[in-house]
Amino acid sequence: MNLLDILLAGSTLGGLYGLIAMGLTVQYGVARIMNLSYGEFLIAPAFLAYLGVTAWGLSPILMLLLVLPLGFIVQWLVYQLLLTPLVRRTGAGPALEVDSILATFGLMFVVQGVMMVAFGGNYHSYTYLSTPVQILGSTVAANRLLVLGVAIALGLGLYLLLTRTRMGTVVRAVSVAPRFAPLVGIDVRFTAALAFGMGGAMVAASGVLVSMFLPFSAAMGTMFAMKALIVVIMGGVGNLMGCLLAGMMLGFAETLVATFIDPGLTLAVNYALFLGVLLLRPTGLFGKGAR
Amino acid sequence: MKTAGKRFWLKQVTAAAATITGFATLAPLALAQEAPKSVRIGWAIAKTGHNAGGTAATVTPNYQLWVKEVNAAGGILLKAYGKRVPIEVVEYDDRSSTEEAVRATERLMTQDKVDFVLPPWSTGSNLAVGPTYEKHKYPLLAATAVTDKAPELAKRWKHAFFFLGTGAGYAESLVSYLESAKKEGKIGNKIAMINIADGFGVELANATRKAAKQHGFELVYDKSYPIGTQDMTPLLTEIKSKNADVFIAYSYPPDTMLITEQSRINALNPKVMFTGVGTQFPMFKAKFGVATEGIMAPGGVDFDAPAIKDYFKRHKESAGYEPDRFASTIQYTTLQVLQQAIERVGKIDRAAVTQEIRTGTFDTIIGPVKLENQMLTKLWYVGQWQNGEFYGIAPANRAGAKPAIIPKPAWKN
Amino acid sequence: MSRRDAMAWGAGALALAGLATVPQWMHNDYYLSLLISVLMYSVLASAWALFSGPTRYVSLATVAFFGVGAYTTAVFGETLPWAAVLLIALGLGVAMALVVGLATLRLSGVYFVIFSFGLAELVKQLVTWYEVNITKDLGRYVFVDITAQDIYWQLLVLLALVLGLRAWIARTRLGLALRVIGEDETVAVHVGINTTRVKVLLFTLSAAFMTVAGAIMAPRWTYLDPTIAFAPAISFQTLIMALLGGAGSLFGPLLGAVPLVLLFEFLSANFPNHFAILVGLVFMVIVYAVPNGISGWLRRRKHHGGGK
């Protein structure tokens, strides 16, 4: 494998990891909710895309645009209806983390159960943009390249949103100091719900993109949630750039190990890298202070 | 058993009285009153969890089809009572956990007291419940377990029957078939092999290593990859650079799809491509269409046989999708074996049924079946997609074997 | 020891003796196996609460130790005497915990949680790689001659030990140090408590119990591979049970483990097709209705009743 091959493979895989984690870092960073049901809300849009393509003959890109508002609304509702009582009860303190783990764990079971009943345990897959793209002699799949593109675009877009707009500053304020935000007139609950919804839109988009090239089943949500958690923590909670960087590091590590050492050690090295980063920087690459 | 004792003497008295009036008319009447209301069949399978995909493809549709058809005909014929008795199902979800599978199986046997229990999907699950079946003396017809330990386990577990063969069987069959292709000059002697880091993959890879040495092949690439790998490109690019004529991947459904897809994208065109579980699933055919041409995998079906064609039709009508071309036919065969064994014995007598399974010859969709040392050896070890169907090609001397297409046609992008 | 304490220990010993006789008169395999499951999770949840209760560090590393214990049995079970197997498991658990404990001290909060999860996965990956490439034998058969009754009794002893240990620690200076750390770690350091030593000690003790529990349970499964032995579900269920019951109190983990194991069983047996949905709903109801875990709820009720 030459350098360009490695670059392409590593960055597309890294982009995938970064993308699926970005929604979670926004949700956790701002709303302080450890959303264990996150993976289910990645698989559900994947199923929707599958239905769209196979049953209704729609284009996955159309489905992608459709699930963005849908994902936002669903997660926004989840926050308002299910999580707000917990926030109120715990005063958004450390107990919120424990309670949100339990509550979203329950939600994860419910959503997974519904998908199981609706779609069964079978693997589902469709093909879209599965054409090879030649870049200076190296080959990469178009759909994976798209994932990388979306990851970078979303990351940059959100970064600009957070740093250049007023709403973005509000979100960042809530993320950094939720207790003091109300002092400057910020409606914390509204902002948290907004951020939660945004995370929902992002995870829905990543679900549709992933469905283009990975066979998925109703049981796979947990795996994605775990992967996202690893990336979020490694990058530093709430930090989008950290998320992308962590994803890239993991993607490249996996590619390099598979090529030069032993494909059997890819995930082991990934976890070791994750653990190593945390040991050196206990709050992740760009995380601020312990919570 | 006390009730049976009383009944036994009652029957004797009745029979004695009946001899005066006519034994033949009264005796079957007395026996018919004892016929069970239903034949209770239980199963604990993975409806959720990581085994749910394989279960839904191979196990569930066959169990449901069998019960439906048997009950449509009135039930299983118990000749001891001279009537057909319908099947009643008790089912549980083992959630892909061995602990739960063991407990659910115990529940079926000791609480629900079902007459027979049908096993779950995958080698690990079948092995986990094996001791439970043995302890309670229920026959275990393992249709989705591939293990080299089968002969040893068969000695240890007198009630266990293995229908899908051993890893060594598959590896030996594939490699010796390749050796004849090598002798004919169709392929060279280099093999690139990858395997998933799970029981199935490891066992087959181990067996292939041995077979390769014996049949004069060189393994130029021999690596395993973890479960959950989402990008095969680095491995495939390496393999491409080795210029091996044969590419073997002992993989599972999600990675089988990934490997095939990414081989196509990266233009990896070996002369022989052999992938693992999942190649034989209808999902594979649906996704890759004509690109499946020439891909080999374990299993195979004799499509020209009318019994197989009919089975495929019935399965499609019942489940809404086709069976898989690897273990589905075997799974259904075990159900036929069980039913015929019960019908031959004539009543619910697990010991007698087990004995019948061990020694009898059965008429099934894959032809006549007789187990050797509790194992089925009449299996298709290698199949290949030819013209939209997955035919059996090895063992080449088995009736219905098609000649293999070597080299595999190149990918068209 | 005060009279109340003596009576409490006495009552505990009596309960233990009573429970020990169960296999003598219960000849039903299924119920015994259910009890074994209850005991296993009681041990795991109590061992989890041993560390995570007072320090408030939520750990998902349970299965890393449990799996190592199970593998110890799988590897040595047929060649070494049982006591040796358990000792080796104990030693491995302690060694692993010391290494991990000393390394992870700077982590806290959600970083620690996910770190512990990553650790368990790393162990799984390493064991897999080792089995695939070195021993070349991934699935292991555990044909150890241990009856279900033996497993029951061993787990019962383990439960008694872990509960006894927790009760005893609570009454010592160590227990006091733990409570201070749990309330505010910075204060604890300033007060002169060697937080490092305390945390590592507790983490190691907790891990020791988990590893031995894994070693004891392995013979039930006949066949073991990394996916089975290191299943994340075990970590999650332990955590949920301990939190639901209340990790701070002595019997809290039991109040979580017993009902949940029985609930899972009830739902499995009666609603096989909708297990996930029902379990999820039950969780959510419990979280909303019982904020501080079941033991917290009981405590509040007692105080409300007593206050009147």
- Using alpha carbons, list the distances in angstroms from residue C158 to C86, C153, C217: 12, 9, 12
Q: Report how far apart, in Å, the C-alpha atoms of C101 and of each of A167, C104, C107, C197, C234 are.
A: 42, 5, 10, 10, 20
Q: Measured between alpha carbons, how far is B237 from B253 in angstroms, rounded to an integer?
A: 21
Q: Does A220 touch chain C (CB under 8 A)?
A: no
- Residue tagged 């990918």 (tokens): B411
Q: How far is A218 from chain B (nearest CA, A)?
A: 8
Q: What does the pLDDT average to over B229-255?
A: 93
Burial of B211 by CB count in 10 Å (0-12 exposed, 13-18 middle, 19+ buried)? Answer: buried
Residues B320, B67: Cα–Cα separation, whole Å? 16
Asked whether C244 and C260 are in contact (CB, 8 A), the reply is yes
pLDDT band at B1 (very low <50, low <70, confident <90, very high): very low
- The CATH number of whichever domain residue A248 belongs to comes to 1.10.3470
Tokens of C239: 């955590």
Count of domains in chain C? 1
In sequence order, what DSSP letters do the residues of A177-226 get, joined into one string? Answer: -TTTGGGGT--HHHHHHHHHHHHHHHHHHHHHHHHTTS-B-GGGHHHHHH
Question: Across the interface, do A264 and B226 touch by the CB < 8 Å criterion?
Answer: yes
Examine residue C113 and state whether it is found in any structural domain, yes or no.
yes
Q: Are C239 and C58 in contact (CB under 8 A)?
A: yes
What is the C-alpha to C-alpha distance for residues C209 and C158, in angstroms, rounded to an integer? 7
Contact list in A for residue C133 (CB cut-off 8 A) is 262, 264
pLDDT at C145: 82
Q: What pLDDT, on the 0 to 100 scale, is given for residue B348? A: 94
Nearby residues of B168 by Cβ (< 8 Å), 6 or more positions away: B148, B207, B210, B211
CB contact under 8 A, C136 and B202: yes
A34 neighbourhood in chain C, CB within 8 Å:
110, 113
pLDDT of residue A284: 87
Residue A224 confidence (pLDDT): 94
User: What distance in Å separates residue C87's CA from the closest CA in chain B?
Assistant: 24
Q: For B297-354, what is each residue's pLDDT tens digit?
A: 999 999 999 999 999 999 999 999 999 999 999 999 999 999 999 999 999 999 999 9
- Rounded to an integer, what distance in angstroms lies between the CA atom of residue C7 and that of residue C16? 14
Whether residue C236 lies inside any domain: the answer is no
**pLDDT tens digits, one per residue of A173-219:** 888 887 788 888 888 888 999 999 999 999 999 999 999 999 999 98
ω into B395 cis (within 30 of 0): yes
- On whether the CB atoms of residues A219 and B228 are closer than 8 A, the answer is no
Across the A/B interface, how many CB contacts are shorter than 8 Å? Answer: 121
Closest CB to B235: pick one of A112, A263, A268.
A263
CA distances (Å), origin B249, targets A164, B295, C29: 50, 11, 42
Residues of A in contact with C232 (CB under 8 A): 222, 226
The position carrying tokens 């290191």 is: C230
A289, part of any domain: no
Q: Which of C16, C17, C42 is nearest to C213 (CA)?
A: C42
Cβ contacts of B149 on chain C, cutoff 8 Å: 141
**In angstroms, what CA-CA distances link C96 with B378, C124, C203?**
49, 14, 10
Answer yes or no: is C302 within a domain.
no
Distance separating alpha carbons of residues A219 and A281, to the nearest angstrom: 33
For residue B3, pLDDT beyond 70: no
Question: How does B32-43 read in b/e, with b if 16+ C-beta sit within 10 Å?
Answer: eeeeeeebbbbb
Q: pLDDT per residue over B73-112, tens digit each?
A: 999 999 999 999 999 999 999 988 888 898 899 999 999 9
Amino acid residing at A214: L
pLDDT at residue A138 in the model:
85
pLDDT score for A92: 65
Query: Which pLDDT does position A289 carry in this prediction?
Result: 54
Which residues of chain C does B227 touch, with a Cβ-Cβ cutoff of 8 Å? Answer: 227
Q: Give the DSSP H/E element, type plus range, for residue B3.
A: helix B2-21
Q: Is residue A291 part of a domain?
A: no
Of C30, C133, C141, the CB nearest to B107: C30
Q: Return the structure tokens found at B258.
A: 């990934």
- Structural element, H or E, at residue B199: helix B199-214
SS3 labels along chain C: CCHHHHHHHHHHHHHHHHHHCHHHHCCCHHHHHHHHHHHHHHHHHHHHHHHHHHHCCCCCCHHHHHHHHHHHHHHHCCCCCHHHHHHHHHHHHHHHHHHHHHHCCCCCHHHHHHHHHHHHHHHHHHHHHHHHHHHCCCCEECCCCCCHHHHHHHHHHHHHHHHHHHHHHHCCHHHHHHHHHHHCHHHHHHHCCCHHHHHHHHHHHHHHHHHHHHHHHHHHHCEECHHHHCCHHHHHHHHHHHHHHCCCCCCHHHHHHHHHHHHHHHHHHHCCCCHHHHHHHHHHHHHHHCCCHHHHHHHHHHHHHHHC
Q: What chain B residue is nearest to A253 in terms of C-alpha separation? A: B234
Q: For chain C, which residues score pLDDT lower than 50?
A: 306-308
Give the pairing of strands B246-250 and B218-225: unpaired
What whole-number distance in Å separates Cα of residue A167 and Cα of residue B336? Answer: 67
Nearest to C240 among A105, A267, A290 (CB): A105
Residue range(s) defining the domain that contains residue A144: 3-280
Q: What residues of chain B lie within 8 A of the CB of A258, using their CB? A: 225, 234-235
Q: How many domains does chain A have?
A: 1
User: Any idea which of B188-197, B239-248, C180-189 has the lowest mean pLDDT?
Assistant: C180-189
ipTM: 0.89
Between CA B277 and CA C253, with CA B44 as vertex, the angle to 5 degrees is: 110
pLDDT at C127 (0 to 100): 94
Residues of A in contact with C283 (CB under 8 A): 102-103, 105-106, 109
Instruction: Give dist(CA C66, CA A205) in Å, integer.
Output: 37
Q: Is C115–A237 a contact, with Cβ atoms under 8 angstroms apart?
A: no
Whole-angstrom distance, CA of residue C23 vs CA of residue C25: 6
Question: Is any Cβ of chain C less than 8 angstroms from the Cβ of A33?
Answer: no
Q: Do C275 and A99 touch (CB under 8 A)?
A: no
Instruction: Indicate if the alpha-carbon torsion angle C250, C252, C255, C261 is positive or negative.
Output: negative
**C94, C68, C98, C76: which is closest to C213 by C-alpha?**
C68
Residue A200 belongs to a domain: yes
**Chain A residue nearest residue B194, CA to CA:** A263
C223 to B99: CB separation less than 8 angstroms, yes or no: no
Q: Which residue of C has its CA nearest to A98?
A: C243
* Residue ranges making up the domain that contains C183: 14-231
Question: Does residue C146 lie within any of the structural domains?
Answer: yes
Which of the two residues, A180 and B120, has the higher pLDDT score?
B120
Mutate to test the interface with A, among B48, B256, B258 (most CBs of A within 10 A): B48
Say if A287 is an interface residue toward chain C (CB within 8 Å): yes
Per-residue pLDDT of chain A (291 residues; tens, 9 = 90+): 788 889 999 999 999 999 999 999 999 888 888 899 999 999 999 999 999 999 998 999 999 999 999 999 999 999 999 988 888 887 766 677 778 888 898 999 999 999 989 988 888 988 888 888 888 888 889 999 999 999 999 888 888 888 899 888 888 888 888 778 888 888 888 899 999 999 999 999 999 999 999 999 998 898 999 999 999 999 988 888 899 999 999 999 999 999 999 999 999 999 999 999 999 988 889 877 543
Cis before B61? omega within 30: no
Q: Write down the pLDDT at residue B341.
A: 96
CA distance B221 to B270: 13
Chain B residues with beta carbon closer than 8 angstroms to that of C274: none
In order, the DSSP letters of A72-84 are HHHHHHIIIIIIH
Chain-chain contact of C30 with B199 (C-beta, under 8 angstroms): no
Chain C: residue whose CA lies nearest to A236: C111
| Residue from A54, A125, A134, A226 whose CB has the most chain B CBs within 10 Å, to mutate | A125
Inter-chain Cβ pairs, chain A and chain C, closer than 8 A: 132
In the structure encoding, which two tokens stand for residue A268, read together?
A: 């082991």
Would you say C192 and C213 are in contact if contact means Cβ atoms under 8 Å apart?
no
Q: Which of C129, C222, C275 sits opposite B130 (nearest CB)?
A: C222
Which residues 100-119 on chain B approach chain C with CB closer than 8 angstroms?
100, 102-104, 106-107, 110-111
Full-model pTM: 0.89
- Looking at chain B, which residue has its C-alpha nearest residue A12? B231
